[in-house]
């Protein structure tokens, strides 16, 4: 990887480190899942903090700082405000992002997964009646495209993608979206 590059991505997770820094997990368009340190982002003068909310679609500059990636400038491309105004939609978003964070390898390009997630978020943002069925279908398609399951398994009537991921990672996941 070169010293600096520009990419786009979805903020999957944000963890505060100390008084000024944040550790981000971003699903990038070209590099897959990235773990990036945002130095000084919590300072009162930082313009980036508003861009770095979970679920935001951003354009960003990355650079190498020793053995880790550091976040440079950011630009908010889409904030998905209709999702953030709905508790149910936020539960769907967090469930999807939790699963992505658990099953995606670091720095391995997953273009189809990125496009699938972006498409799902656009539909969820514009949907007035969100339900778990679309999320269930998206999760099945995601697991299929990443090679975790085959077509036969994906369309079994009782196949539950959340339970499958729980078994895969040997950890329980919040399932509030299930009826």
Inter-residue contact 32 to 105 (CB < 8 Å): yes
Global pTM value = 0.86
Task: Give 2-36 pLDDT, tens digit per residue.
Answer: 588 899 999 999 888 888 888 999 999 999 999 98
Please report whether residue 66 resides in a domain.
yes
* Position 1 pLDDT exceeds 60: no
67 with 94, same domain: the answer is no
Say if residue 30 is in the same domain as residue 107: no
pLDDT tens digits, one per residue of 145-178: 999 999 999 989 899 999 999 999 999 986 654 4
- pLDDT value of position 132: 84
CATH number at residue 20: 2.40.50.140
Mean pLDDT of the chain: 86
Residue 176, number of CB atoms within 10 A of its CB? 11
* Same-domain status, 45 and 98: no
Cβ burial, residue 121 (10 Å; 0-12/13-18/19+): buried
Count of structural domains, the chain: 2
Last residue of a domain, one of 49, 78, 107: 78
* Pair 74, 85 in one domain: no
- Per-residue pLDDT of 79-105, as tens digits, reads 777 888 888 888 899 999 999 999 999
Q: What percent of the chain has pLDDT over 70?
A: 91
Q: What is d(CA 43, CA 21) in angstroms, rounded to the nearest whole number?
A: 8
Residue 175 lies in a domain: no
Which one, of 122, 132, 45, 23, lies nearest residue 81 by Cα?
Answer: 122
State the residue range of the domain holding 36. Answer: 4-78
């Amino acid at each position: 990887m070169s010293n600096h590059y520009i990419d786009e991505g979805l903020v999957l997770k944000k963890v505060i480190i100390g008084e000024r820094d944040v550790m981000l997990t971003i699903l990038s368009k070209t590099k897959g899942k990235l773990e990036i340190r945002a130095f000084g982002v919590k300072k009162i003068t930082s313009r980036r903090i508003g861009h770095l909310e979970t679920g935001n679609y951003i354009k960003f500059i990355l650079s190498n700082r020793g053995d880790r990636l550091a976040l440079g400038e950011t630009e908010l491309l889409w904030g998905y405000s209709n999702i953030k105004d709905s508790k149910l939609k936020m539960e769907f978003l967090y469930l999807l992002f939790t699963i992505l964070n658990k099953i995606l390898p670091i720095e391995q390009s997953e273009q189809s997964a990125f496009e699938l997630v972006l498409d799902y978020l656009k539909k969820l943002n514009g949907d007035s009646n969100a339900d778990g069925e679309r999320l269930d279908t998206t999760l099945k398609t995601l697991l299929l495209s990443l090679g975790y399951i085959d077509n036969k398994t994906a369309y079994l009537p009782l196949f539950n993608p959340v339970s499958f991921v729980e078994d895969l990672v040997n950890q329980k996941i919040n399932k509030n979206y299930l009826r």
